[in-house]
């Protein structure tokens, strides 16, 4: 039974207790850390760096000695500095001889400074105390030596590919940097990149990147950009480059317009050539043999001072560079008379003018319409917003009855004849204005209404209606005659025909 118990696995509860105990031990150890250092320090070659160390909360602990121990990235540990309260400072043989010293030289603060730093100085530096009675206590600082890379970039001169295989057309390098740099390419030529890195003996890294492309003559002069980023740089460094693709020359002759007539002056042919490298010279020849006397050569131009039968030939332009030779030719045909060149179409010009005129007319009409609408809106001339009242007939019999009458003798206005006093019958003989001129004398003697003071009616057609006196607030004033005397009867309502306003009915 006892033997089996030895091989029994721990229960889950026991495992939890062990984990908890381990955590407590770690926390206790951390709380007991009394050697205070900076975990990581960065520095650059040729500069100086301070490595801080301090023993805190010593209490009853007795400090006997402090040492600095260097552990390189690759290699053995070395003591580089020792301080003893009695024997003082000591610097054992090491790569730091003459470059390391204590800042204060005390047990409680044995910080050191290292000058003329090298890339190989990177590593772990441990400040170790010998104490009594607790033994050795230490703290470690990681020294990182940074190196700014030497950046460069350049295009690679290549020849236009005939095999279809990509070649290196540009390269970019970040040399001797720490940490390693990163390189990125940007361009629109459709290439690819390949990046490699190499570590140096001193811990620096050289990063090299190349840009590959199947070069064509069209790629010559196009731009690609290399961008290098690294920890020590404030911002990425960029290198724009223009590709250099070499190719044999190409040539063409321009300037011949099929209108070289006899007597024409200063006809010019131009030899246009491209290539990389650029063609060094241009050679003009004539297929007929000797160059005509009227022809002059000026660099890539052939000038015919005066066209004659001698220039009725074929001219050849030849260019070359170190990659090849290219030729082009043109045959000039001399004609007797000048060809009439087609000028601009008259119909097109007229159509354009008409179009412009129509456009201006449309714009002007639109402006006038807008202004007119605006003025109508400001003057209130818009459509009515309410239904107008029905029309009232003017010149009716009621208006004529209510019209004031002027006495022909006194020239004074008489009362208006009340509408409620009389009514009229229309069964009498109709009256017209056709014979008004014949009855002027009758109207003057017949006692009708003067000056059209009342409506023209026939004698005997007037009737007086019964009047309700309650409708009037007061008695109507008595009638007055021509002399101003009161009369018992109202004046005659007979109206002459000349004063009638109603046309006679016509019977067919």
Q: Are residues 45 and 137 in the same domain?
A: yes
DSSP character string of 59-101: TTPEEEEEEEEEEESSS--EEEEEEETTTEEE--SSTTTTTEE
What does the pLDDT read at residue 470? 41
Q: Does residue 469 lie in a domain region? A: yes
Out of 309, 335, 361, a domain closes at 335
Q: Does residue 60 lie in a domain region? A: yes
Sign of the CA dihedral with 243 first, then 249, 252, and 255 last: positive
Q: Is the pLDDT of residue 267 over 50?
A: yes
pLDDT in tens, 268-327: 999 999 999 999 889 999 998 889 999 999 989 999 999 999 999 999 999 999 999 999
Distance CA 232, CA 226 (A): 18
Strands (E), 214-323: 223-229, 237-242, 245-254, 260-261, 265-276, 281-286, 295-298, 301-306, 314-321
Q: Does residue 27 lie in a domain region? A: no
Q: Does residue 71 lie in a domain region? A: yes
Residues 6+ apart with CB under 8 A from 14: none
Could you give phi then psi for residue 96, rounded to 5 degrees? -100, 10
Q: Are residues 255 and 303 in the same domain?
A: yes
Q: Are residues 213 and 227 in the same domain?
A: yes
Q: Are residues 210 and 291 in the same domain?
A: no
Q: Does residue 3 lie in a domain region? A: no
CATH number of the domain residue 298 falls in? 2.60.40.10
Q: Does residue 383 lie in a domain region? A: no
What does the pLDDT read at residue 344? 57
Q: Does residue 340 lie in a domain region? A: no
Global confidence as pTM: 0.54
Residues 6+ apart with CB under 8 A from 141: 37, 38, 39, 40, 41, 51, 52, 53, 124, 125, 126, 127
Q: Are residues 38 and 135 in the same domain?
A: yes
Q: Are residues 79 and 114 in the same domain?
A: yes
Out of 145, 169, 196, a domain closes at 145
Structure tokens given for 80: 């580089």
Question: 47: helix, coil or strand?
Answer: coil
Q: Are residues 269 and 210 in the same domain?
A: no
Range of the domain at 87: 32-145
Q: Are residues 141 and 48 in the same domain?
A: yes
Q: Does residue 358 lie in a domain region? A: no
Q: What is the mean pLDDT of residues 336-354?
A: 76
Strands (E), 189-244: 192-199, 205-213, 223-229, 237-242
Return the half-sphere exposure (C-beta side, CA atoms, 13 A cut-off) of residue 61.
20
Torsion of CA 236, 242, 244, 249, to 10 degrees: 170
Q: Are residues 101 and 47 in the same domain?
A: yes
Out of 224, 243, 262, a domain closes at 243
Question: Considering its fold, how many domains does the chain have in total?
Answer: 4
Q: Are residues 135 and 165 in the same domain?
A: no
Q: Which of 451, 398, 460, 405 is nearest to 428 (CA)?
A: 460
At 26, is the pLDDT very low, low, confident or very high (cuts 50, 70, 90)?
very low
Structure tokens given for 383: 């459509």
Q: Which of 477, 451, 463 is nearest to 426 (CA)?
A: 463
Q: Are residues 409 and 485 in the same domain?
A: yes
Distance CA 186, CA 221 (A): 15
């Amino acid at each position: 039974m006892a033997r089996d118990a030895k091989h029994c696995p721990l229960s889950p509860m026991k495992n939890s207790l062990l984990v908890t105990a381990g955590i407590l031990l770690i926390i206790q150890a951390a709380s007991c850390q009394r050697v205070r250092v900076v975990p990581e320090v960065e520095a650059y070659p040729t500069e100086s760096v301070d490595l801080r160390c301090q023993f805190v909360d010593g209490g009853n602990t007795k400090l006997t000695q402090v040492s600095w121990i260097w552990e390189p990235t690759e290699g053995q540990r070395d003591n580089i500095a020792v301080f003893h309260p009695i024997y003082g400072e000591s610097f054992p043989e090491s790569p730091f001889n003459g470059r390391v010293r204590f800042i204060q030289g005390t047990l409680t603060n044995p910080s050191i400074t290292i000058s003329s730093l090298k890339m190989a100085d990177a590593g772990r530096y441990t400040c170790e105390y010998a104490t009594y009675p607790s033994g050795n206590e230490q703290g470690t600082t990681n020294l990182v030596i940074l190196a700014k890379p030497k950046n460069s970039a350049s295009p690679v001169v290549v020849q236009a590919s005939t095999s279809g295989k990509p070649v290196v057309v540009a390269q970019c390098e970040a040399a001797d940097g720490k940490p390693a740099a990163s390189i990125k390419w940007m361009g629109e030529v459709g290439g690819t990149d390949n990046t490699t890195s190499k570590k140096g003996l001193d811990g620096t890294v050289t990063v090299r990147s190349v840009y590959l492309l199947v070069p064509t003559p069209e790629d010559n002069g196009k731009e690609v950009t290399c961008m290098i980023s690294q920890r020590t740089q404030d911002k990425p460094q960029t290198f724009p480059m223009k590709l250099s693709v070499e190719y044999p020359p190409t040539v063409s002759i321009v300037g011949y317009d099929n209108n070289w007539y006899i007597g024409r002056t200063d006809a010019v042919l131009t030899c246009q050539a491209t290539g990389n490298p650029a063609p060094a010279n241009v050679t003009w020849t004539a297929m007929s043999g000797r160059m005509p006397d009227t022809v002059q050569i000026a660099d890539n131009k052939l000038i015919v001072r005066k066209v004659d039968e001698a220039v009725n030939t074929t001219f050849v332009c030849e260019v070359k560079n170190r990659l090849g030779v290219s030729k082009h030719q043109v045959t000039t045909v001399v004609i007797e008379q000048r060809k009439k060149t087609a000028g601009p179409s008259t119909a097109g010009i007229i159509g354009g003018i008409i179009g412009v005129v129509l456009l201006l007319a449309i714009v002007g009409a639109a402006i006038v319409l807008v202004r007119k609408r605006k003025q109508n809106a400001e003057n209130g001339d818009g459509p009515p917003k309410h239904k107008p009242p029905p029309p009232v007939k003017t010149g009716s019999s009621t208006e004529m009855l209510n019209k004031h009458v002027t006495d022909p003798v006194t020239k004074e206005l008489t009362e208006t004849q009340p509408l409620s006093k009389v009514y009229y019958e229309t069964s009498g003989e109709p009256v017209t204005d056709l014979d008004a001129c014949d009855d002027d004398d009758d109207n003057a003697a017949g006692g009708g209404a003067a000056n059209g003071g009342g409506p023209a009616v026939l004698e005997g057609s007037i009737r007086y209606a019964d009047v309700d006196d309650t409708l009037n607030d007061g008695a109507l004033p008595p009638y007055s005659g021509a002399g101003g005397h009161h009369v018992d009867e109202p004046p005659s309502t007979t109206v002459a025909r000349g004063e009638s306003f109603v046309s006679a009915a016509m019977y067919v």
